[in-house]
Chain A
Amino acid sequence: MEIFWFLIIAVVLAMFFVLDGYDFGTGIIHLFFAKSEKDKEVIAKAAGLFWDSNEVWLVAAGGMLFMAFPTFYASVFSGFYLSLILVLWLIIFRAIGLEFRSQFNYQMWKDIWDKSFGVSSLLLALFFGIALGNVVRGVNLGGVEQGISTYEAHFFFLPLWNSSFSPLTNHPGVIDWFTIIIGLISVVTLAIHGANWVIMKTNSSINEKLKKVIFKLNCVLLALTIVSVICWQIVNPDALNNFAEKWYLLLFPLLYIVGLTGLFFIHKFKKDRYGFVCSTLLIVGGISSSLASLFPVLLPSVNDINEPLSIYNTAASDYGLSVALGWGIIGFILLFVYMIVQKRIMGGKIDHMDYGH
C-alpha cells in the first residue's frame, strides 16, 4: 500500500513538473527571448491561460503527501522552512505578474509584471532543481552534533547554505555546489520545455529562433548531465546500486536519454508536438530516475546515527491508505474526464483566444 501511494504521488508530482514546468519555462523564454510587444503578449498568454489549473497539481501532490506520508511531510516542510517560504513568495510574484500585466495598457506597468513573471519563473525553476538535489544528497536528520541527535530522529533544519558550500560536510545547507548543478539542469530543462510549449501553442514570430535556442540549450544540458552524474557519484557513492540490482529501473534514465537525443533533431520535426513530447520525456525521466535511485528511501541521512526517511517509516496507517485509495480512484477518473473535456474545447493555438478580462 505504501508503494502504491508512493507511485501515485510520484505521478502527480511528475504531472506538476510537466504541466507547470512549461509555464515556468515559458517565463524563462519570455525573460530572455521575447522582444516585440506582440510576442510578449502571446507568450505570457501561453502561460497565463493555464497556470492556475496547473498549479492545482502542486496542491494535490502536497495534500496527498500529507495524507499518505504525514511524518515525511512534517519533517521536510519544517526542515526546508526558509526555502519553502521563499518558493511560496516566488509563486505569488509569478502569479501576480501573469494576471496583472494585461490589466492596464501602460508600457511601464507591463514591463514591471513581465519581469516579475520572468525572474520568478527562473528562480523557481532553479529552486525546484535545488530541492531535487537536496533530496538526492540527503540531510542531517536529527540535527546530529558530535554523535548526538539534538531533535527527534526524523526532524531536521537546513540553513540556506553553510560557509563551505560543499555537499560533503556533516551539516550541508540547501544551496551547495552539487544542488546548484541540479538547479541549473532544472533551469535548462524547463527552458527547453517552455520553448517547446510556445512553439506548440502559438504562432509567435520567434518560433523558428526558439528551435535554434533549444538546440543550443540541449548541448548545454548534455554537458551538465554528464557533470552531474559524476558529481552524484562523489556525493552519494551508493547512488547507482538500485539500478544495478533492479535492471528494469533503467527504463527511467532511458526515457531521459531518449528525450535528450530526440531534441537534437528539433529542426527536422514535422509536427510542433514532437519537441514537447521530447522535453516531457526529459522531465519525467529525470524525476523518476532520481526517485528510483533512492527507493524505498525518500530522504537519505548524511549521518550514520539516524535512519533515512523511507516510505515505510513515514506512512500513515494501512486503513487510512486503503480508504484513500478508494476515493482516489474515483477522483482520478473524474479528473481525466475534466481533462478530456477541457482539451476538446480549448485545444489548438491560443493566439486568438479571448482572455475575458
Chain B
Amino acid sequence: MEDMIFYDRLQFAFTITFHYIFPQLTMGLSLIIVFLKGLYLRKKVEKYNDAAKFLMKIFAINFTMGVITGIPMEFQFGTNWAKFSELTGGIIGQTLAMEGMFSFFLESSFLALFIFGEKLMGQKLHFLTGFLVFLGSWASGWFILATNAWMQHPVGYEVLENGKYVLENFSALFTNPWLLPAFLHNQLASVVTSSFVVASIGAFYILRQKNIEYGKLFLKTGVIFGLISSLLVAFPTGDWNAKNVAKYQPASFAAMEGIFETEEAGAEIVLIGQPNMVEKKLDNKIAVPNILSFLTYQEWDKQIVGMDHFEEDELPDNIPALYYSYHIMVGLGTIFIGVMSLAGFFLWRKKLYNIKPLLWTIMFLVPFPYIANITGWYVAELGRQPYLVYGLLKTADGVSPTVSSGNTLFTLLGFVALYMLLGLLFLVLVGKAIHQGPKHQTH
C-alpha cells in the first residue's frame, strides 16, 4: 500500500508546489496594485498609474500560469484521490465549487477589463476593476484555506454507515477555528513574497541606473509593505497558528519542533539540530530552555508532550522533512524581518537608495520568500500525515483504487517535463517584462 501511494503523493506535491509559485505572488501583488492605482487617483501623478499598470503585466503572466497549473490540481482530486473525493466530496466539494463560483469568475472577468479596458471606461472604474481582481484572488485563498482547514481540523460533518462524510452544518466550515488564523497567515505571507518581488525590481532598476524614478517607487513601496507584512506574518498570525497546531495536532507539533522526549519542567526551543531517527534525538542541537513552553502557553514550566507520547502510526510519516520545513520557514521569516527593518530604517533616514550592499541583498533575497511560503505549506501538509482528514481518514485509504502506480509514474514524468518548459517560458517572459520596464504611455 505504501508503495502504491508514493507516486500519487509525489505527483500532488510536485504539481501543487509548482502551482503555488504563482498564486502567492498574484494575491499579494493585487493588493499592491490596488494601492498604487488608488494613490494615482488621489494624487494624479502619472508615475503611480504607470507603476500599477507595469505590475499588472507581471500579474497577468503569473495569473495565466496560475490558471494553467491550477486546473490539474482540481482534476487530481478525482484522478488520483478518487476514494477521498468520493467519501468527502459532499463537504470539500462545497468550498471548492464556491471557489469557482465566487472567485474565478470574478477574477477572470475583471482581469480582462483591467488590462484592456482603461481607455474604454475611465479611471475610477479602472480602479474598481483592479479592486475586484484583488477581491477575487483573496476569495480564492479563503475558499482553498477553508477546504484545507476542514482537512486539518474537520468540523460540521456526520459519518454515514457506508463511511461517507456528509455535511451537517454549512456555516461550521467557515467558523472553523483553524480557518481564520491560517487564512491571515497565508495571505500575509503572500504579501511578503510580492513585497520582495516589487522591492527587488526596484533595487534592480536603481543599481542598473535605469528607470530610476520607478525603481525608487518600487523599492519604497516594497519595503513598506514588506516590513509590515513580515512582522504580521510572525506575530500574531504565525504564533496563533502554532498554538492551533499544539492544541489540535499535538503529534505534529512535537515533530515540527523536534521534541523527541516529553520534558516535564517546560520545553526548550530548538534553533538548530538534525533529527536522528534511529536514536530518536537531535544531533548538534542548539536550544534555549523553557522558551517553547512560554511561547505556546505563556507559562515557563508548562509541560509539552514529545513524540515519545504517541504511537508510531499517529506520528507524521516524514519527521525530518516536517522539522526542516518548519525551521526553514521560521528562520527565513526572521531574516525577512531583519532585512526589512534595516531597509525601513534607512528609508526613514532617506539613505536607502545609496546603500548598495543592502540593495544587492534585497535583490538577491527574492527567491527566499517563495521558499518560506512553500515550506510553510509543507509544514501544514506533512504535519497532517498520516491522515488526509486529520484523525478520520488515512492518506493510504484515499487513493484511487483503479489507477496503477505505473500509470501515475507516467503522468508524473509528463508533468515534470511540461512544467520544466513552462517554468523556462515563465522566466523568459517575466525577465522580458522587467527588462522593458514601465513605459510612460500618453493618453
Contacts and interface: CB of A to CB of B under 8 A. Distances in A.
Interface of A: 49-50, 52-53, 55-56, 58-60, 62-64, 66-68, 70-71, 73-79, 81-82, 84-85, 88-89, 91-92, 95-96, 99-100, 103, 143, 151-152, 154-157, 316-317, 319-320, 323-324, 327-328, 331-332, 334-335, 338-339, 341-342, 345-346, 353-357
Interface string B94-138: 101111111011101111110111001100000000000000000
Contacts of B70: 59
Contacts of B401: 78, 151-152, 155
B97 A316 contact: no
A56 B85 contact: no
Interface in B285-309: none
A157 B83 contact: no
Interface of B: 57, 60, 63-64, 67-68, 70-72, 74-75, 77-80, 82-94, 96-102, 104-106, 108-113, 115-117, 120-121, 166-168, 170, 400-403, 407, 410-411, 414, 418, 421-422, 425, 428-429, 432
A151 B86 CA distance: 14
B75 A345 contact: no
Given A74-B78, A354-B116, A355-B116, A316 B71 contact: no
A64 B94 CA distance: 8
Given A96-B421, A320-B167, 20 more contacts: A62-B75, A62-B100, A66-B77, A70-B88, A74-B82, A74-B85, A78-B82, A78-B400, A99-B64, A100-B425, A152-B401, A155-B400, A155-B401, A317-B166, A319-B168, A320-B94, A327-B102, A345-B120, A346-B120, A354-B116
B150 to A, nearest CB: 13
Given A64-B100, A356-B116, A156 B402 contact: yes
B71 to A, nearest CB: 6
A68 B403 CA distance: 23
Given A62-B75, A77-B78, A52 B108 contact: yes
Q: What does DSSP make chain A's interface, helix, strand, loop or mixed?
A: helix
A66 B89 contact: yes
Contact of A67 (B78, B83, B93, B112): B93
Given A78-B402, A81-B400, A345-B120, A357 B106 contact: no
B100 A320 contact: no
A78 B78 contact: yes
A157 B322 CA distance: 35
A59 B100 contact: yes
